[in-house]
Structure 1
Amino acid sequence: MSAFDVTAPNWNQIKQANVTGAASLASDGGVILPTSQGDLHITFHTFGVRLRIGISGQADYGLLVTTPDIISPDIVNSEQQCTLIAGDSKLVINHTPFTFELFQGNKSVQQTANDGHFVRRYRLPPLAKVDEGWLISLELGTEEAVYGLGEKWASLNKRGQLVRSYNHDALGVNAEISYKNTPFCWSPSGWGVFVHTPSPVTHAVGYATWSQRSYGVLVEDEALDIFLMHGDDGQAIINTYTDLTGKAPTPPVWSLGVILSKAYYKDVPELLATAKDVRAHKMPCDVITLDGRAWQDTDTRFAFEWDPKRFDDPAAVINQLKADNFKVCIWEYPLVSVQHPLFAEMAKKGWLLKDKRTGEAYQYQWDMSAFAEVLTPLPESGIVDFTHPDAYQFWLESHKPLFDLGVDMIKADFGEQVEDDNMLAYSGDSGNRLHNVYSFLYNKCVYEAAEKYSKNGPFLFSRSAWTGSQRFPSQWGGDPQADWGGLGASIRGALSWGMSGAPFFATDVGGFYKDTRDQELFIRWSQAAVFSAHMRLHGIGQREPWSYGVEAEEAVNQALVLRYRLLPYIYSAMQQATQTGVPLMRAMALAFPKDRLAAAFELQFMFGDDMLVVPCLKPGGEVDFYLPEGEWERFPSGQTYQGGKTYALTLGLQEMAVFVPKGKRIPLGPDVEHTDALADQQPQISHYWPK
C-alpha cells in the first residue's frame, strides 16, 4: 500500500469522522447522520444494524440475496450524543469524534474500540476516511476470540492475526494467503461483522502492531457498508450471514461418493485402465476426473474442446466410463489462450477483460517461477469478462455440449488472476474492486450451467471463492504439501471456511505436491477425509490406494467402505446445512460454544450433530483429544468414555478415533461401491449404530 502501511500505520495522519448535525429519519425507515466524512446511513434489523457511508451506485454484483426488513427507530438527539432505539436494540452515538455502542436488551453487543492513547483520545480512529477507503475500529474483550474470515491455514482463532480478505493463487496451505476469503467473522461472545464489498478488506484482529485489544477493519472501497450482527452463538450468526448472502443448496447424492483424480491421466489408455483397476480392486468410487492437461491441449486452452491428438472420440471414452458406473468430472479455468481462435472472437466482441492502456483485450502473462519442473508453463491468455452479460451467457451455454456428452461435474480451477489495475471490466471496475468478486461471478456462471444442463443434478468444485460462493457448492482446498503439516493445515482451512458460512469442503487427499509415497500419511489423510462433506483423492502422481502399497490399500479401502455406509448420515447433515448454513465439519468452538476448554482443541471437530472426529496428524498413530461433558461411545467399538476430560490413544493403521454421545444413534447404509447401486440413487438406512 502506498499511503497506508498496514504493518505500521501512522494514526496521527488520519482524519477521523465527527458528527456534524442531528440525526433524522430517512425515507426507507433508516436514519441519516451527517458527519465530517459524509452522511452515515444507519438501518436497524432483527439481527442488528447496518452502517453505510461513502459513494454508492457502484456495481454490487448480487452478493446479497435479500434486502433485510428495516425497523424504524425512535431518535433522541442532544448536543453531544444521539440515541436510536428500535425495539430491543439501541445504538448510542457520540459526536466528537464519532463513536458508538450497540445494545441488544441490556447487553452491549459491540462498540467503538476504547483503547486510549496519551497523544490522542483513541489509539485507533473510531471511523475514518483514508486514501485506500475506510477504517472502522471495534472493541475486543480481554480474552475474546474471533472466528471466520474465510479459508485460513493458521489458528482458527484469528485473535492476534493480520488477515487480508484477498484471493490468491496461494500455491499451498502454509501462509496467510488463501484461495477463499470473505470479510465475515464472529465471536462466541455474541456478535458478528460482515463487510458488504467486492473489495479487499484488511482485518487487524487484536493485532498488537495496531492494538492488541481492538479489531481494526480497513475496507479498500469508496463506500463502507458493514453489518453488525448479534446472536446467541456462532451457529446463529452464521445463519444470519447466510440468510443475507445465500444458503448452499444440497448437492446430489452421487457427489458424496469418492472422487478420484490426479494431475493428470496422460492419455485414454491410462484413464480407462485406472477406471478398470478401481472396479477390479473393489474400491468404492463414484467420480473420475480429467484434470486440465488430461483432456485439453495446454497451449490452446480453454476452449471447451477435447485435445484431438488424444481424443478422437470423446463420447466413446465417456460412455465406457459410464458403463463402469462412473460419473465424469472435467477441469476448466476462465482464461482463453491467445493461440486459439476463440481469443480473437471473444476479444472482438468485448467479452474479455480489456487493457485500460490500449482498449484491446488484456493479455495475461503467467508468472513462470511457479511452474518449472512441477507444473506445465501456461500460454499468454485473455481473461473472460463475467461482468459482460453476453460473455457470461456465452460461457454458460458453451458447457451444454459437454454435459450433453455425459460430463457430470466441472472442476472450476483458478479465478484469482485479476491483479492488475490495468484490467478493465465491462462493469467499469478494475483491479482491487474486481479481483475478489471475479471468483464469485465465475463460480456462479459455471454452477448455473450445471443447473441448466447437467443430467444428474448440479455440482461444482471451485478453488477460489468470495462472499456468496457458498451458493454454488462445493469448494476444495488447493495445493497442500504432501506431508503431515499439509494435512493439518488442510483441516484448519476446512474448519475456518466452515466457520465463514460455507458448509461444504474437500481437501486434496494425500496432498497435491512433494509426494514421497508416504503410505501412513495417505492412510491418515483418507481416514480424516471420510468425515468431510466431499472426498477427493488428488495430487501430482497416483492417488489410487494400491499405489501406496498393500497396507495402504487395505486401510484406505476400509475407510472408503465406511464413507459409503455413512451416506444417510452425511446427506441428512447436508440437508441441515442447507437450512442453517452450519457446516458439516464443525470446529469445537462452533459446536460447543460454552465449553472454553473445547475451543483449544482446534484440529478435532464434530462431523454433523453426533460424531466427534479426532484426525491422526503425526506418524505413529498417537492422538490427544478432549471430550466435552457427558458420556461418549467410541465408534464403532462401543467403548465408553467420560466427558470433560482429555485422553490419549495410539491408533493402529486401520483405526480411527471417532466418538458419539451416548444415546445417539448413527444411521448407516449398505456396502456399495458406487451410488448407482442404491435404489433410486438415494441414501438408504439399512441399520443404526449402536444396534
Structure 2
Amino acid sequence: MMDPQKLTPITNLQLVEILADRVRFSTDGGQLEISFWDEDIARLRLGDAEVNSYPIIVGKPAGKAISHSVEDNQHVIRCGQGEVRLGPAHTDAENGPQPVHLSYDFKESAVVQPSPDGHFVRRFRIPPFARTNKGWFFSVGLQPGAPIYGFGENYATLNKRGQQLTSWAEDALGVNAEVCYKNAPFCWTPNGAASENGSSGYGVFIHTTARVTHGAGYPAWSNWSYAAHVEDERLDLFFIAGDSPAAMIERYTSITGRTDDVPLWSLGNWISRAYYQTFEEAEEIARTIRQRQIPCDVYTLDGRAWQDTDSRFYFQWDPSRYPEPEKFIGVMRELDLKLCVWEYPICSKNNPLYEEFDRKGWFLKDAESNTYEYEFDLSPFGKVLTPLPNSGLFDFTVPEAARWWYDQHRKLHEMGVDVFKVDFGEQVPEDAYASNGDSGIKCHNAIPFLYNQTCFQASKDHFGTGLVWSRSGWAGSQRFALQWGGDPQASWNGLAGSILGGLSWGMSGAPFYAHDIGGFYGGPPDDELYVRWLQAGVLSPFCRIHGIGPREPWYFSTETERIVKEWLGLRYRLIPYLQRQVKEAMASGMPVMRSMVLAFPEEQRTWAFEMQYMLGDHLLVVPIVQPGGWTTYCLPEGIWYDYFTGEQRAGGQVYSQQIGIDRIPVFVKEGAVIAEGPAVQHTGEIKSGRRIEKIRVFGVPLARSVDHEAEVSLKATEKSVRLSFTPSVACEVHNAHHNLSDGILEVYTE
C-alpha cells in the first residue's frame, strides 16, 4: 500500500507567464497551470506530458477575465468572486524549497484548503501535490465530521468518509463489495471546508480515464483530508464551489454534460429474463404478458436468447433459432412491445469475421502489437454461463471500427430493434493497448465510455432521441441515458445494495438508474422479496423485471401477481410526474432518485437515513429492505401526506412501523402538485391529449410545483394560487381551502 508520508512534495514554484485566461508556473514536477472554468470553478493542471483526450468534457469555460498579484508570499489569481492562492511565491532561504500548496475561496468563504495534517518537522504530513512512480498524488482538507459523497455507484454507505475507493470499472458480480460497474472520479462534501464565515462545501472532479484511488478521510492516509492517487501522466483537477449539493452537481454537469430527453415508452415497465431459449418460448412469454394483463412496454432478448454463444458478438441473429428474425419483430409489433436486444464488445475467435477485424486492427493489442486474446474467467459463474470462447476486445479508439459498430446498430434499428442492452465493457486488461497508444491503465475506463457513446449515438441518430440500457459508466456517462445496476444477488442485501448504488450514482452526477427487480442471480426470490423489490423498482427512475430464470409475475403466487399488477398500474400513473423529473435532469443534472443530503441539505438529521429517498421533488419513498415489513424512517420538517390515503404526518420526526405486503411508505411534501396519467397496459394506449388524467394537490401549491409540466400552469397572487389545466382532468385537493371550476383550481392562502 502506498504511504503518502513517504512521497516527495512538489516544490520550486516559479511564475512563467500571465495570460488572459490562465497563469502558468514551473515546478520541480513540471508545468503548473491555474485557470477558471467560471468564477465558482477553479482548474489546476500539473505536468508536462501530452496525453490522449477522450470526450469526457463537453462544456465550455465561461472565458471570464482573470487577474494576478502576489500577496503574503502567495500568488493570488482572481476571477470575479473566485480567488485561488498558490504558494509559496518565494523560496525561503533559511528553510529551502517548500511544498506547493493551494487554497480556493469563493464569495469570501473557504472552498478548498490544504490538508491541515501537520508533522513534527514539516508543515504538511502528507504532500499537497506529489509525483509518484505511477502518476500523481494530491490532498485537500476535509473538516472533522464532514461527510463526502459521490465516486460512482458504490453499494455500501452513501457517506464514503473513512473509506478508500478505486475508480476502476469492474464486472462486480453483484452489489456486495467495493468494486462496481460505474465509477466517476467526482466527489463532494456539503461542509468539508471551514473559515471565519462558517463551513462550506466543495466538489472535486479529476479529469482522467486512468485508475484513481481515493482516500476519503481514509485513516491509513489521513483522517482530515480528501486525497487521491491518479495514475495518469498529467494531473487535471476541477475544484467546484457550491452553496448546496444540488448546485455542485449542476456545476459538475455543466462541465461533463447532462442527459437528453428519453422516449415516453422507456418510462414504462421492461420485462426480460436470462434467458428465453427459443423463438417459441420468447413468443409464448410475450403473449402471456398481454393475456394476463401485466403492464409492459419493453421486452428484452438477453445474451443467449438471440446470439449463438460460440460465435458472438457480431450482431448476428442465431440462425438455428431465428432464421427469420423479422417474424419475431412482427410479434413484438403485434403485441405493442418495444424490442430490446443484448450486446457486448467482445468478439469470438470462432466467427469468420474475427480474422477480417484482426487484419484491420480493430481489436486491442498486447505489448508486441498482436491482437490481445481475451480469455474469460468462468470460475465465478459455475454453471450459470455457457463456456465462452477466446475473443478479441473491440477497440473503439479506431474510427473505422467504431463506425462499423455504429452501423450495425443502425441496421438493426432499421429492422425493428428499438433499443440495445449495452452490457459488459469492463474487461480491458492493464497490459492491453488501444490504437492511440494508451495502455489499459489509461483506456480501461475509456473503452466502455466510448462503447456506450457509440451505441447511444446510433440510437439518437436513428430515432431522434437516444437510449441505451447500459451497465458500465464513467464521468460523462450521464449523457447516455440510461444505466442499470448490473447483477445483484436475489437477496435482501441485494435489494438494499441496488438502492444505495442508484442513489450513489445519482450523487455522482447521473440522473437515471434501474435495478433487476427480483435480483439477477441466486434466485428465485421468495414472494415477499419479489414484491418488495418490485415496489422499489416501480418507484425508481426506470423499471425492469429481470433475472436468471423466471421473474414474470405469474410464476409467483396469485396474490403476488395481483399486487404486482396494482403497483405497475401505479408506475404508469406516475409517468407524467416522471417526465417532469426527466426535464429537471436535462436542465440541472439533478438525479431522479435523491438522497436525503441532496434533497434536504439543511436538515442534517435526515442524512443518516440513507435507505429512504426522494423520487423527484415531491415523493419520499421508504423501501422495505428486510423481511417482516418493519422499517424506520425520518420525515423532514413540515407537513407530509401519505400518498395512498392522504393522511397527514408531521415532519421532523422518526417513525418505526410494520407495513403490510401490498404497501410501502410513500409520502408527499406539502405544496406538491402531482400529475397522474392513466393506468394503461403500455404507453401506446395513452391517447392524444389524455396524458394527464388527474391532478392531486397537497396543501397550497408551491411556485415550482409544476415546473416543466406544460399541461398545468400556476399563477400566484397575494391571496391565492391558481392552477389551470384541461377541464376534463380530475382534481383531488388535500388540506386546502379551494374552489374548482372548469379546469381552474383556486387555492386560497388565507
Same fold (TM over 0.5): yes
Letter paired with 1:400 = R
Residues 1:610 and 2:604 aligned together: no
Q: Which range moved further: 42-51 or 491-500?
A: 42-51
Give the deviation of 1:355 after TM superposition.
Answer: 2.2
Secondary structure class of the residue paired with 1:402: helix
Pair 317,20 (structure 1): closer, same or farther in 2 beyond 3 Å: closer
Give the deviation of 1:368 after TM superposition.
Answer: 2.0
Instruction: Give the match for residue 628 of structure 1.
Output: 636
Contact 1:93 1:99 in 2 (8 A): yes
Instruction: Give the match for residue 319 of structure 2.
Output: 308
Instruction: Give the match for residue 5 of structure 2.
Output: 11
Residues 1:160 and 2:154 aligned together: no
Instruction: Give the match for residue 526 of structure 1.
Output: 534
Instruction: Give the match for residue 715 of structure 2.
Output: none
Contact 1:179 1:464 in 2 (8 A): yes
Instruction: Give the match for residue 21 of structure 2.
Output: 29
Highest CA radius of gyration, 1 or 2?
Answer: 2
Q: Which range moved further: 29-38 or 497-506?
A: 29-38
**Separation of aligned partners in 2, 1:22 and 1:373:** 63
Cα deviation code 1:581-624 (max 9, x no counterpart): 00000000100001101101001000000000000111111111
Residues 1:198 and 2:209 aligned together: yes
Cα deviation code 1:181-223 (max 9, x no counterpart): 0100111122100000111111100001111111111111000
Secondary structure class of the residue paired with 2:373: coil
**Separation of aligned partners in 1, 2:206 and 2:413:** 37
Instruction: Give the match for residue 282 of structure 1.
Output: 293
Residues 1:439 and 2:448 aligned together: yes
Letter paired with 2:541 = A
Give the deviation of 1:56 after TM superposition.
Answer: 4.2
Contact 1:204 1:216 in 2 (8 A): yes
Secondary structure class of the residue paired with 2:213: strand
Contact 1:103 1:110 in 2 (8 A): yes
Pair 467,663 (structure 1): closer, same or farther in 2 beyond 3 Å: closer
Give the deviation of 1:37 after TM superposition.
Answer: 1.0
Residues 1:243 and 2:254 aligned together: yes
Give the deviation of 1:381 after TM superposition.
Answer: 0.5
171, 174, 179: which is aligned to 1:172?
A: 174
Instruction: Give the match for residue 51 of structure 1.
Output: 44
Counterparts of residues 490-569 of structure 1 (less than 5 Å): 490-569=498-577
Give the deviation of 1:556 after TM superposition.
Answer: 1.2
Instruction: Give the match for residue 91 of structure 2.
Output: none
Letter paired with 1:593 = P
Instruction: Give the match for residue 638 of structure 1.
Output: 646
Instruction: Give the match for residue 217 of structure 1.
Output: 228
Cα deviation code 1:233-254 (max 9, x no counterpart): 1111111111111111111010
Letter paired with 2:374 = Y
**Separation of aligned partners in 1, 2:652 and 2:615:** 19
Aligned residues: 679
638, 641, 649: which is aligned to 2:657?
A: 649
Residues 1:185 and 2:187 aligned together: yes
Residues 1:663 and 2:671 aligned together: yes
Instruction: Give the match for residue 710 of structure 2.
Output: none
Residues 1:38 and 2:30 aligned together: yes
Secondary structure class of the residue paired with 2:184: coil
**Separation of aligned partners in 1, 2:465 and 2:618:** 28
Instruction: Give the match for residue 457 of structure 2.
Output: 448
Instruction: Give the match for residue 341 of structure 1.
Output: 352
Letter paired with 1:614 = V
Instruction: Give the match for residue 404 of structure 2.
Output: 394
Give unpaired runs (5+ residues) of structure 1: none
Cα deviation code 1:506-556 (max 9, x no counterpart): 001100000043110010010011111110111101111111211211111
Secondary structure class of the residue paired with 1:269: helix
**Separation of aligned partners in 2, 1:547 and 1:538:** 13
Q: Which range moved further: 671-680 or 438-447?
A: 671-680
Cα deviation code 1:373-413 (max 9, x no counterpart): 12222111111110011111111001222112211000010
Secondary structure class of the residue paired with 1:477: coil
Secondary structure class of the residue paired with 1:679: coil
Give the deviation of 1:80 after TM superposition.
Answer: 3.6
Cα deviation code 1:55-105 (max 9, x no counterpart): 343211111002312433322236842222222122222222111211112
Aligned-pair RMSD on alpha carbons?
A: 1.4
Q: TM-score, normalised by structure 1?
A: 0.96
Residues 1:382 and 2:392 aligned together: yes
680, 686, 705: which is aligned to 1:678?
A: 686
Instruction: Give the match for residue 694 of structure 2.
Output: 687
Give the deviation of 1:258 after TM superposition.
Answer: 0.4
Letter paired with 2:459 = A
Cα deviation code 1:605-652 (max 9, x no counterpart): 000000000001111111111000000000110111000001122111
Pair 591,23 (structure 1): closer, same or farther in 2 beyond 3 Å: farther
**Separation of aligned partners in 2, 1:552 and 1:490:** 21
Letter paired with 2:442 = R
**Separation of aligned partners in 1, 2:462 and 2:23:** 46
Letter paired with 1:304 = F
Instruction: Give the match for residue 493 of structure 2.
Output: 485
Letter paired with 2:83 = K
Contact 2:261 2:465 in 1 (8 A): no
Instruction: Give the match for residue 371 of structure 2.
Output: 361
Counterparts of residues 447-466 of structure 1 (less than 5 Å): 447-454=456-463, 457-466=465-474
Cα deviation code 1:279-306 (max 9, x no counterpart): 1111100011000000000000001111
**Separation of aligned partners in 2, 1:239 and 1:534:** 22
Instruction: Give the match for residue 243 of structure 2.
Output: 232
Letter paired with 1:571 = Q
Counterparts of residues 252-263 of structure 1 (less than 5 Å): 252-263=263-274
Q: Which range moved further: 393-402 or 217-226?
A: 393-402
Give the deviation of 1:176 after TM superposition.
Answer: 0.5
**Separation of aligned partners in 2, 1:74 and 1:317:** 65
**Separation of aligned partners in 1, 2:73 and 2:639:** 56
Cα deviation code 1:461-494 (max 9, x no counterpart): 1101111111111000011010100000000000
332, 336, 341: which is aligned to 1:321?
A: 332
Cα deviation code 1:331-370 (max 9, x no counterpart): 000011000011111111111112222x222111111212
Pair 683,330 (structure 1): closer, same or farther in 2 beyond 3 Å: farther
Residues 1:76 and 2:81 aligned together: no
Instruction: Give the match for residue 94 of structure 2.
Output: none
Letter paired with 1:453 = H
Give the deviation of 1:119 after TM superposition.
Answer: 4.5
**Separation of aligned partners in 2, 1:622 and 1:561:** 25
Q: Which range moved further: 54-63 or 289-298?
A: 54-63
Secondary structure class of the residue paired with 1:352: coil
Instruction: Give the match for residue 59 of structure 2.
Output: 66
Contact 2:31 2:48 in 1 (8 A): no
**Separation of aligned partners in 1, 2:497 and 2:484:** 13
Letter paired with 2:399 = P
**Separation of aligned partners in 1, 2:430 and 2:146:** 37
Contact 1:366 1:378 in 2 (8 A): yes
Q: TM-score, normalised by structure 2?
A: 0.89
Letter paired with 2:50 = G
Instruction: Give the match for residue 429 of structure 1.
Output: 438
Contact 1:139 1:215 in 2 (8 A): yes
Instruction: Give the match for residue 717 of structure 2.
Output: none
